[in-house]
Amino acid sequence: MTTGRADYLELGDWNAVCYECGRKRKAGQMVRHWQGFYVCPEHVNSKRQPQDFVRGVQDKQAPPWTQPPPEATFVLYCTPNGRTAITDFAIAECAIAEFIDPAFDPNGD
């Protein structure tokens, strides 16, 4: 078994392997990489991708103000058939008792 340059006793230190190149070194010589891995000091200079620092713009989708729709209004209008006092044709509040409008049309409204 051959010994490498990291195979010696140093109290409080241990052997570690570089994440980039796989070389064995003492843990005290290793440096933490931006990705969280421990590497040789030569590999620390690898640059991060600039897109790693891009942050999105918050999208506020709510309008600045809102209001409820207006109340539904019912406009009552009377038709000739509605004014006629005949069942199924008369409209409440339009029908006139005992009255048949001259424009009454039993086929339509």
pTM attached to this predicted model: 0.43
Contact between 104 and 94 (Cβ < 8 Å): no
Token digits for 64? Answer: 């600045």
The answer as to whether 109 is a domain residue is no
**11-54 pLDDT, tens digit each:** 999 999 999 888 899 999 999 988 889 998 888 876 778 888 89
The answer as to whether 40 is a domain residue is yes
pLDDT band at 65 (very low <50, low <70, confident <90, very high): very high
Domain count, the chain: 2
Residue that the structure tokens 């000091």 belong to: 41
Closest CA to 2 of 30, 27, 24: 24
**72-101 pLDDT, tens digit each:** 887 778 888 888 888 888 888 888 888 888
Contact between 6 and 24 (Cβ < 8 Å): yes
CA distance 83 to 78: 6
- Average pLDDT in the chain: 85
Domain extent at residue 88: 71-104
pLDDT band at 55 (very low <50, low <70, confident <90, very high): very high
